Chain A
Amino acid sequence: SQQGEEDPQALSIQEGENATMNCSYKTSINNLQWYRQNSGRGLVHLILIRSNEREKHSGRLRVTLDTSKKSSSLLITASRAADTASYFCATDASYLRPGGYQKVTFGTGTKLQVIP
């Protein structure tokens, strides 16, 4: 089953407004990442937050992590039409797999539309 579940599935806002998306997960994690996907393209990494961090900022992005609730939120401030995309959270489990790679599991995404 999917580790990360984003909420809402779709969000439509006016340019200049803030957009908030949430991600919930089921098992303990090492890190949580957020990715953006423009229509029909590959994903682009936005930000990574570690399990011992509570908040992280990158430009207009603010990510929070609450490990007690197993949830994270992504806030995009002062949204622009160019922010229109799908946003995915990705989590990795707290066990080490052969080859040093920890499996990353992606959620189903939130589709954000920013109306000019």
Chain B
Amino acid sequence: DVKVTQSSRYLVKRTGEKVFLECVQDMDHENMFWYRQDPGLGLRLIYFSYDVKMKEKGDIPEGYSVSREKKERFSLILESASTNQTSMYLCATALADSYEQYFGPGTRLTVT
């Protein structure tokens, strides 16, 4: 079974802090994604990566950056956290050319 882990289930940070959310997968999937999920808005794609050091912006990349130095690890960075980034963050992976995505358990981030 594919296993996708995220570094924290719950995280509380202060406005202006730099925040790192980490995602690790053990199935050698090429594609990795970061989404945020908010009530009434569903899942929105922040960034995705289709190879090491390769990334593409999703629908809402503003205020975020990503890093993929190794195939199994995809990090989401909030350079200066703001209260409107309080959300559930979900990492997902997929094989190249596959539509089926495998999700991690999510990180609920609160920025105060």
Residue of A nearest to B31 (CB): A101
A88 and B90 alpha carbons, distance in the complex (Å): 14
Separation of A110 and B103 alpha carbons in the complex (Å): 18
Q: How far is the CA of A98 from the CA of B103 in the complex (A)?
A: 22
Q: Let me know if A42 and B99 touch, CB within 8 A.
A: no
Report the separation of the CA atoms of residues A86 and B35 in the bound assembly, to the nearest whole angstrom: 17
The answer to the question of B22 belonging to the interface, with a C-beta cut-off of 8 Å to chain A, is no
Answer whether residue B27 sits at the interface, using C-beta atoms and an 8 A cutoff. no
Quick check: B42 and A40 within 8 Å, CB to CB?
A: no
Chain A interface residue count, CB cutoff 8 Å, equals 27
Q: Does B96 contact A (CB under 8 A)?
A: yes
Would you call A92 and B42 a contact (CB within 8 A)?
no
A31→B99 CA distance, assembly (Å): 8
Query: Once the chains bind, are B45 and A42 in contact (CB under 8 Å)?
Result: no
Complex interface bits, B43-74 against A, C-beta within 8 A gives 1, otherwise 0: 10100101100101010000000000000000
The answer to whether B102 and A101 have CB atoms under 8 Å apart is: no
The answer to whether A100 and B97 have CB atoms under 8 Å apart is yes
Query: B67-112: which residues lie under 8 A (CB-CB) from chain A?
Result: 88, 90, 92, 94, 96-97, 99-106, 108
The residue in chain B whose Cβ has the minimal distance to the Cβ of A42 is: B103
Which of B45, B90, B102, B104 contacts A45, CB < 8 Å? B102
- Shortest beta-carbon distance from B18 to chain A in Å: 25
> B50, A42: Cβ atoms under 8 Å?
no
Known contacts being A100-B96, A100-B97, is A43 close to B90, with CB within 8 Å?
yes
Task: Judge whether A99 and B51 touch: CB under 8 Å.
Answer: yes
28 A-B residue pairs with CB within 8 Å: A30-B99, A31-B99, A33-B100, A42-B90, A42-B104, A43-B43, A44-B103, A45-B100, A45-B102, A48-B99, A88-B42, A90-B101, A92-B99, A99-B30, A99-B31, A99-B51, A99-B56, A100-B97, A101-B48, A101-B94, A101-B96, A102-B99, A103-B58, A104-B99, A106-B43, A108-B41, A108-B42, A109-B42
Q: Which residues of A contact B (CB under 8 A)?
A: 2, 30-31, 33, 40-45, 48, 88, 90, 92, 97-109
